[in-house]
């Protein structure tokens, strides 16, 4: 007893230090030179700068200071970024800070969620797996909002777990509220774990079946109220009193929810070739082959294999055991997303950050199950096959992206070999299990370090480390990912528009965002995000020019220029400024593209 009393505090101290080291590792991967590469996604950065201009811009999430159009996302994530920018200025660090903080805090939160049912070791392994998942590192170093969404959904998972254990309904309402807040960060993306959350409550809460159905119905009402309140308020605001709803087809948030950010993600067709370049073809193997396999799939074979083993080992019993409930929660969350991301036709690779928490949790549970089998059952060889298959997949994936990664492979092989030898010939199986687990995490951890050190990350569509190929990625429709403000043009416009409301008008946000960030002036985004929105019509253009509110329009950048009707109007009523020689500041397949600055006087 004396020996145990001496060693228990020491063991607890060691475990606490292990968690601290894992959190510090995750923080380092996310905070190292955070913001050094600039403002990140300039579309969102320009929106934040615009939101700080006025309360109206802040509430409606205006994409430019003049409030002509909104961004194509709900407000909460950008509200948080705007508050950070209000305190620290509009810069890369301030814009990425909320995501980096959320990502770092998600690590101990996942540890707590896994530990409460399955112990410290499983919690530590899950936390470590999440800390070194490459796509989480890439996204949480950026000003895209998905890292914040993941943190909010983990809080919701905690609340649903508490609701499943308690007769008190407040945890269920809280869980619904948190998912609703997640909806106001990335809309329907936040609902992907919802079947798992509801399934956990329905199968384990200490109430009758009828009462649980009633509770979940009421929770759904709470969820819908929280999710849709902002959308309803915006849609009830007269169109002339608010910005155009960017990327909607009828100037409503509800259409944005169900269309562009809803069924459009599942069935979208536009820009197919560019999305194949980013996502690959839809199908069961999409997540296991390039171009997506390097993002979040390094441990996916182990997670899926372990989920099957956990189901089989759980057997048939009622009420469900904690292991079975864990499969409902983490397995249900993971499988919903695996299915969606395998078949959906329109999303971006960075959305795969959503796989991080459930996959990391299942990795921790699977490795714990392996340890339990080591102790009690000769069938542990089955899970060793899962480890071997996962490692083989990692090597194949690594070879598809990196010409030389022998150091990572050698380190992983060494640790896995030490673990296997330890199992076979040594009594120190706990040490051997540690070697096996670490060996599986070496390659994704190395890829995360390369992601952290990447000097030229894709700031618009963040991905894990991308081996340079000499080709510049493009967005759907052929738009270059990054445009920069032309200094000569900025100086000219500033000198000639001091008494004019709009600095200039441009076809799309890609062209306009750099000028918003450079000047803080209103820049009319005639077509919204990619140029398809009817923000600027010929009649409105005529009125703006006649009223002296707009004088200059910039056109000619790539394939996403002004609509033909506006271009015809410009050619008929405006003149090209000849004393400026303007080209795009980014490479283009056809070489440097000449752009044209139109000067428009009052129209009679």
Confidence label for 275 from pLDDT (cuts 50, 70 and 90): low
Return the higher-pLDDT residue of 409 and 274: 409
Asked if 471 contacts 521 with a C-beta cutoff of 8 angstroms, the reply is no
Q: How many independent structural domains does the chain possess? A: 2
Q: Which domain holds residue 517?
A: 487-600
Same domain, 495 and 360: no
Please check whether residue 199 lies inside any domain of the structure: yes
Confidence label for 1 from pLDDT (cuts 50, 70 and 90): very low
Question: What's the pLDDT score for residue 421?
Answer: 84
At 518-554, the pLDDT tens digits run 999 999 999 999 899 999 999 999 999 999 999 999 9
The average confidence (pLDDT) of the chain is 89
CATH number at residue 519: 3.40.190
Section 91-106 average pLDDT: 97
**Where is the domain boundary, 335, 365, 395?**
365
Closest listed residue to residue 505, CA positions, set 552, 542, 543: 552
pLDDT exceeds 90 at position 233: yes
Please check whether residue 114 lies inside any domain of the structure: yes
Asked if 120 contacts 15 with a C-beta cutoff of 8 angstroms, the reply is yes
Asked if 566 contacts 573 with a C-beta cutoff of 8 angstroms, the reply is no
Asked if 140 contacts 99 with a C-beta cutoff of 8 angstroms, the reply is yes
Q: How many Å apart are CA 391 and CA 182, to the nearest integer? A: 34
Question: What's the pLDDT score for residue 135?
Answer: 97
Please check whether residue 398 lies inside any domain of the structure: no
Section 184-207 average pLDDT: 96
Q: How many Å apart are CA 347 and CA 359, to the nearest integer? A: 20
Sequence-ordered strand ranges (E) for 25-140: none
Contacts of 172 (CB under 8 A, 6+ apart): 159, 160, 163, 201, 205, 215, 216, 219
At 139-186, the pLDDT tens digits run 999 999 999 999 999 999 999 999 999 888 999 999 999 999 999 999
Give the chain's radius of gyration (CA, Å): 26
Please check whether residue 468 lies inside any domain of the structure: no
At 2-28, the pLDDT tens digits run 333 344 676 677 778 999 999 999 999
Please check whether residue 410 lies inside any domain of the structure: no
Return the higher-pLDDT residue of 460 and 251: 251
Section 190-200 average pLDDT: 97
Q: What are the CA-CA distances from residue 603 to residues 503, 536, 551, 574, 600 (Å)?
A: 19, 16, 11, 9, 8
Confidence label for 241 from pLDDT (cuts 50, 70 and 90): very high
pLDDT exceeds 50 at position 498: yes
Confidence label for 587 from pLDDT (cuts 50, 70 and 90): very low
**Where is the domain boundary, 332, 365, 398?**
365
**Joined tokens for residue 4:** 């145990």
Please check whether residue 476 lies inside any domain of the structure: no
30 Rama class: left (phi>0) / alpha (psi -120 to 50) / beta: alpha
**Where is the domain boundary, 333, 365, 397?**
365
Q: What are phi and psi of 506, to 5 degrees?
A: -135, 160
Cis, bond preceding 489 (omega within 30 deg of 0): no
Please check whether residue 269 lies inside any domain of the structure: yes
Q: Which of 33-37, 220-224, 485-489, 555-559 has the highest mean pLDDT?
A: 220-224
Please check whether residue 16 lies inside any domain of the structure: yes
Same domain, 118 and 267: yes
pLDDT exceeds 70 at position 200: yes
Section 447-469 average pLDDT: 87
**Joined tokens for residue 353:** 């950050």
| % of the chain exceeding 90 in pLDDT | 71
């Amino acid at each position: 007893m004396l020996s145990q009393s001496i060693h228990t505090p020491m063991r607890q101290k060691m475990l606490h230090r292990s968690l601290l080291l894992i959190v510090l590792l995750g923080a380092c991967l996310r905070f190292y030179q955070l913001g050094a590469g600039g403002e990140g996604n300039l579309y969102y950065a320009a929106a934040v700068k615009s939101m700080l201009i006025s309360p109206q811009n802040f509430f409606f999430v205006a994409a430019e200071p003049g409030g002509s159009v909104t961004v194509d996302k709900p407000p909460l994530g950008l509200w948080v970024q705007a508050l950070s920018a209000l305190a620290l200025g509009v810069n890369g660090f301030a814009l990425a800070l909320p995501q980096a903080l959320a990502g770092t805090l998600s690590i101990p939160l996942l540890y707590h969620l896994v530990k409460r049912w399955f112990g410290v070791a499983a919690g530590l392994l899950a936390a470590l797996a999440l800390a070194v998942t490459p796509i989480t590192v890439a996204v949480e170093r950026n000003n895209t909002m998905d890292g914040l969404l993941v943190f909010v959904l983990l809080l919701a998972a905690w609340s649903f777990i508490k609701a499943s254990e308690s007769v008190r309904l407040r945890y269920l309402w809280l869980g619904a509220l948190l998912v609703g807040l997640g909806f106001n960060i990335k809309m329907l993306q936040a609902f992907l774990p919802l079947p798992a959350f509801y399934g956990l409550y329905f199968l384990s809460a200490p109430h009758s079946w009828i009462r649980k159905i009633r509770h979940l119905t009421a929770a759904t009402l709470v969820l819908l109220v929280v999710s849709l309140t902002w959308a309803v308020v915006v849609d009830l605001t007269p169109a002339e009193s608010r910005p155009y709803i960017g990327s909607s087809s009828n100037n409503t948030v509800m259409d944005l929810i169900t269309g562009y950010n809803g069924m459009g993600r599942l069935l979208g067709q536009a820009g197919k070739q560019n999305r194949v370049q980013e996502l690959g073809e839809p199908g069961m193997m999409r997540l296991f082959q390039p171009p997506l396999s390097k993002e979040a799939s390094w441990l996916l074979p182990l997670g899926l294999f372990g989920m099957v083993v956990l189901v089989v080992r759980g057997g048939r019993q009622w009420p469900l055991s904690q292991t079975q409930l864990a499969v409902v929660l983490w397995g249900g969350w993971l499988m919903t997303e695996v299915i969606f991301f395998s078949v959906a036709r329109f999303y971006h690779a960075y959305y795969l950050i959503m796989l991080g928490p459930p996959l990391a949790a299942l990795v921790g549970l699977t490795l714990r199950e392996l340890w339990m089998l080591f102790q009690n059952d000769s069938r542990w060889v089955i899970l060793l096959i899962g480890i071997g298959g996962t490692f083989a997949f990692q090597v194949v994936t690594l070879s598809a992206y990196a010409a030389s990664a022998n150091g990572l492979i050698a380190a992983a092989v060494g640790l896995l070999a030490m673990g296997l030898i330890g199992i076979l010939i040594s009594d120190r199986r706990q040490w051997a299990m540690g070697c096996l687990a670490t060996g599986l995490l070496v390659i994704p951890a190395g890829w995360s370090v390369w992601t952290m050190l990447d000097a030229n990350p894709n700031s618009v569509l963040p991905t894990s480390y991308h081996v340079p190929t000499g080709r510049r990625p493009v967005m759907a429709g052929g738009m270059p990912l990054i445009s920069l403000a032309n200094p000569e043009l900025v100086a000219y416009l500033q000198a000639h528009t001091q008494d004019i409301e709009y600095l200039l008008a441009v076809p799309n946000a890609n062209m306009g965002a750099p000028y918003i960030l450079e000047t803080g002036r209103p820049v009319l985004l005639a077509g919204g995000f990619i140029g398809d929105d009817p923000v600027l019509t010929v009649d409105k253009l005529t009125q703006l020019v006649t009223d002296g509110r707009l004088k200059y329009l910039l056109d000619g950048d790539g394939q996403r220029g002004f609509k033909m009707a506006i271009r015809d109007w410009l050619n008929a009523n405006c003149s090209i400024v000849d004393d400026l020689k303007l080209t795009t500041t980014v490479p283009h397949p056809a070489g440097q593209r000449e752009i044209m600055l139109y000067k428009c006087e009052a129209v009679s």
